[in-house]
Amino acid sequence: MSMTRLTPEVIQTLSTRYGLGDEFRDFRGVTRRFSDEARLAILNAMKVDIDHDVIHPSSAAPLRLPAAIVCTQDELFVDLFLGSVASHGVINITVLTEAQTTMETALPVSKLPMQDDGRYRIPLPEVPPGYHQLQIAFNKQQSHSVLAVTPRHCYQSPVIASGHRLWGFSLQLYTLRSSSNWGMGDFADLIAVIKAAAPHGCALIGLNPLHSLRPADPSQVSPYSPSSRDFINVLYIAVTDVPEYAHCNEAQWWVANHQKQLAALRDTTHVEYAQVAQCKFTVLSMLYGEFCKTHLAHNTARAAAFQQFIRQQGESLRLKALYDTLDQYFSKNPETNWGWRSWPAEFQNPGSEQVQAFAAEHARQVEYFMYLQWLAATQLQAAQQAAVDAGMQLGLYGDVAVGVDANGSEVWAHRDVYVSNISVGAPPDPLALKGQDWGIPPQHPLVLQKQAYAPFIRMLRANMRAAGALRLDHVMSLCRLWWVPHGMPATEGVYVHYPLEDLIKLVALESVRNQCVVIGEDLGVVPDVVRRILTQFQVYRYKVTFFEKLHDGQFIPPQDYPRNALAAVTTHDLPSLKAWWNNDDIRLSESLHHYPDQETQQRVQQERDADRHQLMHALVRAGLWHWQPHESLPAYSHALMRAIYLYAAMSNAALLVVQPEDLLYMIDPVNVPGTFAEYRNWSRKLTGDLCELLKQPDTREVLQALNKARRGANPNS
């Protein structure tokens, strides 16, 4: 219990020290202060030693480097306190580069400029971008740090830099239909779509997050609440494409004798995850047995490739596979089947003796889950290679969730960087007047810094490895996140700030190293500093047609879209185009009781009516439709869908994505934000086979017109 008298002044001082905001401007433009109760709850969750911090506030110790120094190539310096006798003597700087070369410099302190706060500005040797080891020695003291030197901005595709405007499809991979999958879209389906779409001018294939979920509980399906962002959902493995399948009689017999079951799973309107998982894991375990017998037992080249994958992925892969093994083991008991926090206490710590003994006893099953990750990574890489071979300029466009499931493997394995008793969410907005609580735990910004940003870097690398572009969901999280203390409503959240400059520079470094374009999903309330730094580091903005309006309600003309942007008519969190035009989403929200009152629903309907009229005006101005204001709005049609997509295609944005749901005239949404059991999110399939759709004359004509619009030509000529 704290002995310090927790006055508002004390709470304010500690909040400032630990990055908690004072106030924010809500969606109505009203400035609101954060409550002391919420801020104190967050300080406690951050494990702030309130008594010690108040009585002994942290002071800058001489020659104490942070765990990581992150700087661009044109700002190679560090500001450092050197102590009271600093004006005499020489400071010695040593950098061990990634290439294992040593660079040394000795500088008289008397010649170093001093900053206003008393720190000396110490220039560092010119080293290339990368992760280096820095040592500074002075007055018989030494300090060490990781020196991350980054490019000035993110990777820019040469094709885009030369003036081309590209387009592609935005898919939820599990929704794909085919005559061969096992009830959900898989990596074989993805390759088939790539080969079918590339000849139409498609340059990229956008995907939902492919992050690993929990194999032990296939009912947990949200790609935005994964078990781990560093690994892949193994249900996307195309089982019969695994090389072991061609030699495994047992697996072939099983598949041959379960064709009716697999056909039934293909015919469902929604993915039946539990049944799909049961089928896939049954056969995948057979294929692992074949792999052990044929390859591991004989040290074949394929076995060597697997062992190399294990070495490259290191301890993170071992812990992920160990978690999945434990989760599978404990899932047999209803009291311990919802993740690590339901397990016996001795198994909640990855380093415990009981966990190590379990790992040794179940080594084969741990290896099985590593094998599945290897298969998934190999097939995903093959999909990206297929895109490159097909001539796609970017290929796969991945997606990174803003956080992870509190009960999943990432939090279990790296619990020190996550804050318990806190959930990430969002403040109230017009569509969620009670705010949002996403149920995912935040990373501790100070612990992240103390670990030299290793978890963040690992996550970026894992998701850029097989992608030509990457979307950062809720990119504002690089700057701040809305923390909601458990037991408090989402309206009582507090913005907690993160080291934005360091994080965006690391994004740039990994982007350039992986030749991966970065798109920041910046929908919602975006601080000015985030807009500025996204522009500075050439992170692409996210522009949704529904939201791109001027203050008077008019839709922004295509030529006024920013160049460094990705344009989309709608997204997975919004209604399809047909549903938006026909108000199906408003009726769905009404049936789900999402509107707090009739007045709110009427206001939403009035705004929609106005938006539809404004969109018609925009189409007329763009030369895409003939319509007079005195006329009724047209009914939804193929022609209207075509015109709206061409409007987006004519935009100045370098990138455009098309949702196949709109080409199929679908109504049911992928996801209804704010729902859990009320609506089957993340499971609704496409109503048709996308590869077959691309053969249809109407579809081919739309894509031809879209290509013309992207080239700047008249799409109707």
For 159-191, the DSSP string reads HHHTT--EEEEEE-GGG---SSSSSS--HHHHH
Q: pLDDT tens for residues 389-401?
A: 999 999 999 999 9
Q: Is 522 helix (H, G, I), strand (E, B) or coil?
A: coil
User: Could you tell me the sign of the dihedral formed by the alpha carbons of 579, 583, 589, 592, in that order?
Assistant: negative
Determine contact, residues 202/656, Cβ cutoff 8 Å.
no
pLDDT at res. 431: 63
Each residue's pLDDT tens digit, 654-694: 999 999 999 999 999 999 987 888 999 999 999 999 999 99
**What stretches in the chain show pLDDT beneath 50?**
1, 3
**E strand map for 187-287:** 204-207, 211-212, 228-232
514: number of Cβ within 10 Å:
19
**Alpha carbon distances (Å) from 374 to 234, 303, 305, 564, 582:** 9, 11, 9, 35, 45
Helix spans in 445-499 (H): 445-450, 454-464
| pLDDT reported for residue 232 | 98
- The pLDDT of residue 28 is 80
Bridge partner residues of 36 (DSSP):
none
- Distance, in Å, from the CA atom of 409 to the CA atom of 350, rounded to the nearest integer, reads 10
CA gap 606, 139 in Å, rounded:
71
Beta strands (DSSP E) in 279-418 are: 395-400
What's the one-letter identity of residue 636?
Y
Q: Which of 558, 651, 545, 691 is nearest to 200 (CA)?
A: 691
Nearest CA to 96 out of 124, 75, 56, 58 is that of 124
pLDDT of residue 54: 65
